Structure 1
């Protein structure tokens, strides 16, 4: 529920704060006082609508799943819309998108102002029927769980089987392609890091002749080696450093000559051709490692193609078994739902009678299997499709459906927001709507704008929206103040004693 609402700088509203209670909360006031503007700002704070208010903020008791939303849950969560140059939305001072905030709100809030068919979606209607059955027999929950498990498993098996059958149609091509890809890599038979080693050999071969020439020229230094040693001896100098350096140089030259002599046996054309072969694999697969990994993948695929018939036979048997289980469970669910349909229809029409509407026709037909079975629940009003009934009739039908659903609700259903749902109704019709809303208020916090005394008198909290000069104000009314406001609704600005008496009787009766 919304525990607190704050609004600042929106059209004729300067600053207001409301502390709504649970139950049926009614807003009344003269035309043009700002009731619809106020309702719009409340919706805007929750991301369901948009307005130009500097700030609109709702403190709600909704539970937030931190893992799913990324927002830490508080005892009271604050939803906020701020408008400066552009709109910004916050939950617990954490910036969020309008889509995110409206998505969260939609789990708890329904705005019954337009023709929203979500309450008549098949999944919701089936859920209402199943909940009613469950209150009489717990077997349905077990059947539903068994059905859903089999349905999902069957769906996965069917997808896998369809994939195999698709592969079967092109199995020859797939096998040939896999074998061709494997053969192409095996023919080259690459080794990891082989390309790097060959490139190094290529570099060595390309500089072999030049390096050997420089070594040959440098070998002349050894012809004068004995002269240097004699000179050092004549100077009584230690010649060991020179001997060591010359020995190290001699070893270096000999090692290089030996390495280059080994390259004499290597065919440069073969090296270049091998580098080109490995290069073609790298260009196709990215690297030698990736080419080898691809080959292993194709080997596994080829083995799979070879065994595809065995796999298919097993899946066909499994699919048939699961299909039977799904059909049997779906049939059991259909029988239970069909048995409950008359009772559901009777209760729905009982509320419709209270709301001065003719009977609705409820039927069930078979549809495509889904996670909740094979049943489609259809509701028509006065043998007319819902898309063609008036908005007033549609919304009263929604109230009746919500009332039927609420009979078996064990928890709070969230918030309902209604804008003049009793407009253009007679006094009796308005009272019927009020009684249904009062019942729903056991499970929902309901915000409603009303111009009728009957619905207004049934409110458990009453706010008056009025203007003081050009500024809109909101005031929570006491019992005596409610009498005056209801009397004004009855008789207009010139309130009569008879209107006051009738207003008081309505309020006392609603208690």
Structure 2
């Protein structure tokens, strides 16, 4: 539920702070006092509406899962919309995009004044129907779980079979291509790092002549080696350091000379041709390692093509068995739903009668198989498509569907926000809406703007929105103040004793 709401500097409101209760929360007040502005501000704090308020802030106790957005689990979350030069949105001081904020809150907050068809979506209607079936101790959950598992497996196997069948049409071409690719790579027979070694040989060959000439010139130093030893003896200097250096230098020169002389046996044309072959593979497959891996992949594919008939037969048998299972389970689920449909329709129409609406027609027809079965629920109001009924009828029909759904809900169904749902209704119609909302308030926290005494009297909490001069204020009313406000709604600004008496009677009925 929303436990607290704070608003600062928005149009005629300077500052508002509301401590909110569960159940049915009613806002009343004269026209133009700012009730819709206040409702919009509450929605704005959750990113569900736009507002130019400096601050809209709501404190909620929702089981929010927002770890992926860097928000740690907590008992209480503070949703906040701040508007300075631009709008910014926060949950527990963690900045979030408006879209993310709205998405997170949409699991708990619904604005029923919008013409939203989600309550009439097939999945939602089937869920209500299935929960009613479950109440009769039918094992529908096990059937649905078994069906869903079989349906998804059938879908996977069928997709795999289609791939196999498509491959089979092209199997000769695919086999030839795989064999060609294997032969192409095997004809080169590349080795890991071979290209690097050959490039090093090519580099050595390119400088062989120049290197050998340099070695020959350098070897002249050894002709003067004896003279150095003699000079060191005359100078009485230990010559071991010079002896070690000359031996190391001699070894380096001999090794280099042997390495370059060994290249006499290398055919430069063969090296260049081999490098070109390996380069072609690298250009085609991305590298020597990749070419070898690709060859192994094609070998496996070739084996699969050889066994494609066996694989196809196995998959076809598996697909047929799963299809039969899916149809059998779907038919069993449909049978249970058809048995319950009459009672669903009767109970829905009972709510609609309370709401002074015409009967609804509900039927189940076959549709494409999906994760919920093969059933599609169609709902009309007195044979009229939902897109063509009035907004008032639409919202009252939604209330009836929500009432059916709430029979199987726990206490915390979230927050419903309604803007003047009882507008332009007669007293009896308004009372019927009030009774249904009161019933729903056992499962939802409901915010409603009302201009009718019947719904107003049902509130668990009643706020008056009013103006003094150009500034709007909101305050919670006690019993006597509620009597006066309901009397004002009944008789206008000139409150009569009869209106006060009727207001007391309405409020007394709620005790």
TM-score relative to the length of structure 1: 0.96
Secondary structure class of the residue paired with 2:73: coil
Secondary structure class of the residue paired with 1:443: coil
Asked if the contact 2:70/2:94 (under 8 Å) is kept, the reply is: no
1:36 is aligned to 36
2:479 is aligned to 479
| 12-21 or 300-309, larger mean C-alpha shift | 300-309
Secondary structure class of the residue paired with 1:115: coil
Displacement after TM superposition at 1:225 (Å): 4.1
* Per-residue deviation, residues 434-490 of structure 1 (Å, max 9, x unmatched): 111111111111111011111111111110000011110001111111110111111
The whole-number CA distance in structure 1 between the counterparts of 2:357 and 2:240 is 121
2:301 matched to 1:301? yes
* Per-residue deviation, residues 167-212 of structure 1 (Å, max 9, x unmatched): 2222222222222222221111111111111111111111111122
The whole-number CA distance in structure 2 between the counterparts of 1:243 and 1:507 is 118
Asked if the contact 1:114/1:391 (under 8 Å) is kept, the reply is: no
2:65 matched to 1:65? yes
1:406 is aligned to 406
Asked if the contact 1:23/1:442 (under 8 Å) is kept, the reply is: yes
Structure 1 unaligned blocks of 5 or more:
none
* Per-residue deviation, residues 204-237 of structure 1 (Å, max 9, x unmatched): 1111111222222333444444444455556665
1:316 is aligned to 316
The whole-number CA distance in structure 2 between the counterparts of 1:222 and 1:408 is 103
Asked if the contact 2:433/2:455 (under 8 Å) is kept, the reply is: yes
Asked if the contact 1:7/1:17 (under 8 Å) is kept, the reply is: yes
* Per-residue deviation, residues 305-333 of structure 1 (Å, max 9, x unmatched): 22222221111111111111111110000
The whole-number CA distance in structure 2 between the counterparts of 1:244 and 1:356 is 114
Secondary structure class of the residue paired with 2:412: coil
| 446-455 or 226-235, larger mean C-alpha shift | 226-235
Secondary structure class of the residue paired with 1:361: strand
1:371 is aligned to 371
Secondary structure class of the residue paired with 1:22: coil
For 1:229-248, list aligned pairs within 5 A.
Answer: 229-230=229-230, 232=232, 238-248=238-248
| 116-125 or 239-248, larger mean C-alpha shift | 239-248
Distance 1:258 1:401, change over 3 A: same
2:94 matched to 1:98? no
Secondary structure class of the residue paired with 2:207: helix
2:181 is aligned to 181
For 1:326-341, list aligned pairs within 5 A.
Answer: 326-341=326-341
Distance 1:223 1:16, change over 3 A: closer
Root-mean-square deviation over aligned CA pairs: 1.6
Secondary structure class of the residue paired with 2:8: strand
Asked if the contact 2:6/2:18 (under 8 Å) is kept, the reply is: yes
1:14 is aligned to 14
2:151 matched to 1:151? yes
1:250 is aligned to 250
Secondary structure class of the residue paired with 1:358: coil
The whole-number CA distance in structure 2 between the counterparts of 1:230 and 1:68 is 83
Asked if the contact 2:67/2:73 (under 8 Å) is kept, the reply is: no
Distance 1:22 1:251, change over 3 A: closer
* Per-residue deviation, residues 220-263 of structure 1 (Å, max 9, x unmatched): 44444444445555666555544444443333332222222211
Displacement after TM superposition at 1:300 (Å): 1.9
Asked if the contact 1:56/1:81 (under 8 Å) is kept, the reply is: yes
* Per-residue deviation, residues 34-73 of structure 1 (Å, max 9, x unmatched): 0000000001111111111111111111101244554212
User: Aligned residues, how many?
Assistant: 511
The whole-number CA distance in structure 2 between the counterparts of 1:304 and 1:87 is 59
Displacement after TM superposition at 1:295 (Å): 1.8
Distance 1:243 1:41, change over 3 A: closer
Secondary structure class of the residue paired with 2:30: coil
1:198 is aligned to 198
Asked if the contact 1:64/1:71 (under 8 Å) is kept, the reply is: no
The whole-number CA distance in structure 2 between the counterparts of 1:199 and 1:409 is 74
Distance 1:241 1:445, change over 3 A: closer
2:268 is aligned to 268
* Per-residue deviation, residues 359-382 of structure 1 (Å, max 9, x unmatched): 111111010111111111111101
2:434 is aligned to 434
The whole-number CA distance in structure 1 between the counterparts of 2:330 and 2:85 is 55
Secondary structure class of the residue paired with 1:483: helix
* Per-residue deviation, residues 7-41 of structure 1 (Å, max 9, x unmatched): 00110000011112111111100000000000000
The whole-number CA distance in structure 1 between the counterparts of 2:481 and 2:317 is 75
* Per-residue deviation, residues 131-174 of structure 1 (Å, max 9, x unmatched): 00001124111111111111111111112112222222222222
Displacement after TM superposition at 1:411 (Å): 3.5
Secondary structure class of the residue paired with 1:404: helix
The whole-number CA distance in structure 2 between the counterparts of 1:246 and 1:409 is 96
Secondary structure class of the residue paired with 1:392: helix
| 359-368 or 292-301, larger mean C-alpha shift | 292-301
TM-score relative to the length of structure 2: 0.96
The whole-number CA distance in structure 2 between the counterparts of 1:228 and 1:48 is 95
Secondary structure class of the residue paired with 1:110: strand
The whole-number CA distance in structure 2 between the counterparts of 1:473 and 1:231 is 112
